[in-house]
Structure 1
Amino acid sequence: FNKIDYDYKARIEELEENHIKRYNIPIIGLIEKSLELLSPRVSELMEAIGGELINQSAIEGLNSIVETYLIVAMNVQAALKYLHSVKRVVVITGGDRPDIALAAIEENVLALILTGFIQPDAKVIYAANEKKIPIILSPSDTYTTIRNMERVRPGIQEEEINLVLELVKKHLDWDLLLK
């Protein structure tokens, strides 16, 4: 079994114990889904949208692994409800929404993607620099930006190869596999 969602791991282990072993069906391994391997990095999203990083002081943030992204076009109060419920998030909004950008920065998002290639206010850049949060300008409208982001298929980065090897070594029954 591969890419097991954490929420289902206990159920699969129960099935293995109560049903699969009963019929002598060999299981070579159970490998959980790994966010580190399946999720894109901020840099991959930036490349996919043809974006431009405007605050070089936050360049390290481009290596962050993105769990989800949030399109924010509502008022700040409504946006905060969503921002509180997610983690490892990139916020996509218009560059003409300093209120949203500042609220997102305050919530420690991984990055801001501002659509329409609209430069944000200086206070937004200053706040992002203080927290080392990348601001990426997208040359496209919000819909096109999202469509381009959805096409991202993260590959295994060189520094992730050891993680892959560790997962395989830890969770596969090599003796059974090589029989």
Structure 2
Amino acid sequence: MLSSVSIKEMSKLLGGQIICAEDKVNELVETFMVGAMGQEQALKFFRRKANKAVITGGDRADVQLAALETPTKCLILTGNFQPSTIVLGRAEELGVPMILVNFDTLTAVEKVGEIIGRVRLHEVKKIDKIVEVVREHIDINRLLEISKK
């Protein structure tokens, strides 16, 4: 959770353009997967992880549709290719934002690596989660009591 990144922040840092489901840009992505295989293999591969962003070529409708059939938070489409109307419609229907970037898939993967290498605690969802975990598992009053001794 703490190493996750919001779709909005990711788009900004990638210099990308969000083209659908803009009401979901504050969702957090916890993992990234690259789609560079055939549709059947992609579907098996993408089922392994939830709350993910899938990085794939903007011209790979087969891989994009496979990703949308699994718990995917976001698609990052490389090469500045507009998705097909079928993919766009399905992403809208599912509420999955797509980010268009104008560089190739390898460059996108490298940039994402740089992004997730930084700790980002300023996002409200993360702060709320930290507060929730602390309240559930740490006895603050007891800690204060011990620290005064």
Structure 1 length normalisation: TM-score?
0.71
CA deviation digits over 1:122-142, x for unaligned, max 9?
A: 111111111111111011111
Structure 2 unmatched ranges of 5 or more: none
Q: Structure 2: which amino acid aligns with 1:106?
A: E
The reply on whether 1:69 has 2:32 as its aligned counterpart is: yes
Q: How does 1:66-105 map to 2 (within 5 A)?
A: 66-105=29-68
Q: Is the 8 A contact 2:55 2:78 kept in 1?
A: yes
Partner of 1:10: none
Structure 1 unmatched ranges of 5 or more: 1-34
Name the structure where helix makes up a greater proportion of residues. 1
Q: Larger C-alpha radius of gyration, 1 or 2?
A: 1
CA deviation digits over 1:114-173, x for unaligned, max 9?
A: 001111111111111111111110111111111111222223324543443343444255
Query: Could you tell me the percent identity over the aligned residues?
Result: 35
The reply on whether 1:176 has 2:143 as its aligned counterpart is: no
Q: How does 1:156-175 map to 2 (within 5 A)?
A: 156-169=122-135, 170-171=137-138, 173-174=142-143, 175=145
Name the structure where strand makes up a greater proportion of residues. 2
Equivalent residue in structure 1 for 2:5, among 22, 40, 43: 40
Q: Give the secondary-structure state (helix, strand or coil) at the position aligned to 2:5.
A: coil
Q: Structure 2: which amino acid aligns with 1:101?
A: Q
Q: Structure 1: which amino acid aligns with 2:5?
A: P
Alignment size in residue pairs:
142
Q: Tell me the C-alpha RMSD between the 2 structures.
A: 1.8
Q: Is the 8 A contact 2:121 2:127 kept in 1?
A: no
